[in-house]
Chain A
Amino acid sequence: MTIDLKGYGDDASTATLARAPGVRVRDLTVVYRTPLGELPALGGVSLTIEPGTITGIVGESGSGKSTLALSLLNAVQPPGRIASGSVEIDGLGDVVGLAGEELRRARGRHLGYVFQAAQNSLNPLKTVGKQVLDLGRSHGVADPRALLREARALLERMGLDGGRVLDSHQHQLSGGMRQRVGIMLALVLNAHLVILDEPTTALDMITQSTILRIVREVHQERGLTTLMVTHDIGVAAEVTDHLAVMYGGRVVEHGPTMRVLGAPSHPYTQGLIRAIPRLSGDPSEARALPGRPPTLGTLPVGGCVFRERCPERMAVCETVDPPRVTHGERTVACHAVEQAHDRAETAGYGPHRLDTANHRTGREELT
């Protein structure tokens, strides 16, 4: 899993990071300053990402998934700010506490960030190669030629003509090529935690599947911890091994992708799955979630954020924010699931009885 770092003249701290880091987000609250006061975009998110996993973060627009991704680099943009909580990353410590030069050096070298393909993430006036060199200069890379070789090798690994791409300007590259350049720039300084924000949005289907294959392969080859933000559950199912479902600035469900999608526990995840039209069977069986997702201003205060749209709504949902409860590999924040689980426990059936809730909704089992 260790990747060769020598030849860059790295400082010693990199050596301890030369393997996939784990990430522990604890009670992370991010607020945005608005004319109505400070409103929470993330309301106490906790999430543990095991080293070496590819974790998908799915949710509707405004659920806080991009804010969470930026928080991992302590890069929430004003008027937003991290109000409380911590983001522990192996080898870096709590990035919420990092600032100035320390933070800048962590970005790029330890934390790689890949932008949405449609966004122009390159300086339009400079060739890709020159921007690689700028990056090397910013991070005190001792051997710029080795850095360029590494950039070229990465590009070629992703099926591009490395030399040509390094000599190109952004406007000379297609969307798929730009995205591979984005991935190269995230990896070229040997970052081992890579965060991709909607990496395949605005790409055509074929390019999309190429990029996803590359993400998966590079993840394995370089021994990374990868986090991928997407609104496309199909994309998440194809690439990720763990899945975190976000709603209203909270992670409502987290677990192995196949189990979360195959046997969703949280009513919101169930609703999402039910809304996907099936290739086989009657497309009209797909049912949209009623209501609309909350915005910063309409987020209910106190109680469960999902209760307005929830078929399992109970009295306790109005007042008490459901706690995250972990059973085995899965974590869910829902009063209904919790109660069903407790009943199952007391009846002595074991945790698989969790799925009764799903049978009651008439949803077909996917696993």
Chain B
Amino acid sequence: MSTIAPKFRFSYFLKSLTDNAFWAVILLTLTGIPFVMTLLFYLELPVIDDKLMTPYLALTTIADPARQIPLIKSLLHTDFFRIAAFPGFGFAALLAAGTIFVERKMLAKLQLRVGPFYCGKIEGLLQLMSDGIKLLSKEIIIPAKADKPIFWAAPVLFVATAAAFVSLIPAARGGWVVADADVGLLAVFAIIGFFPVITVLSAWSANSKFPFIGGIRALHQMVSFEIPLILSVLGVVILTGTLNLTQIVESQYHYWWILFMPIGAIVFFIAMLAELERIPFDLPEAESEIVAGWLTEFSGMMYGLVQLGSYLKLYAFAALFTILFLGGWSGPNVWPPFPEEIIQKGIVMGPITAHFPGLPLLDQQMLNDVLWFTLKVAGVIFFILLPRGVFPRIRIDLLLHIGWYKLIGMAFVNIFIALALVYAGVLGPGGIL
């Protein structure tokens, strides 16, 4: 019989526990408390309910959940929360993770396979987590003759650029956006311009044939599809007269722009597929021709970072499509109001009544906006994933032909439609609608 700890004695176990506690207390008093006290001189403590939130006060709130609500409320309105959690990185990464799982499962169903099945017992729900752990624990192999600084920097830069793209996306009215730039749409295009640079640099730095071919293909594809991408959006800018993404959404509370500019929306969607290297435009990663394209030499977490970046980019593009053509977060009010009796009476649990003053943490409008925004983005992501089960990969000369001739021409047609709508007095400033 095998035992986990053959020489186990309960007294030794107790001794080790008390020893650890002793050293923890000693170290905390000698270094931890002086460190915190020094830090407090430089920290700017928040003022909540006209009281300075000192660490002592913050600790006392642990005893009373009702007093934590103002604390959480003030946290919800900090820049840190915006960048790390809600409209920023956390929200986008969550949607990206969901996208990866749905893509694998849905693709499998389309091709009459099972897909992820065993991990997590129920339909392979935890497959993504196990993939993440696998990627984290794998060795990072760098080719011997690679250009090491660029090769290391490329995945990090890719994720950083995708996160910068995400930070420009507004998710609800009332300033739920990381960077509310006045020239938001231009900033988006400035950031998109970095992707080909990073791709081609990482492809070159691997010093290998397949990545280089993939990188050159990616460069051709991204540079040539950026032009129809920008031109197809000009119609929206002409009709709204602003480059701010929040204002573009606010201009669609009555009519979505896809109703007036379906051609622009189609051009934007196709150019978006090409920018995202999705099937049928996945030539840079064509696995049956050039192994994995520009990702061939990446291994371990470097590959994981590139994947994370590309799915963040997918979310950001889908959200941009929603904002520009599908009315962003506008939609009917379906979110139920917060129950009145909890605000007035508190939660009654048998003999105890718990009062939570200031309870609705987020107002109904914001939650409703987020619901519609998430639903629309999920719909657009679904339509981005769908071609993968249907279409074959197209040839590079046909791809460039589509980009340079057909899409640019259609984008100009869209601009003329927008101009006609403005000059006929239908839409725009002083229009009928």
The finding on whether chains A and B are genuine partners in a shared complex, rather than unrelated, reads no
B-side residues, CB < 8 A to A, are: none
A residues within 8 Å of B by Cβ?
none
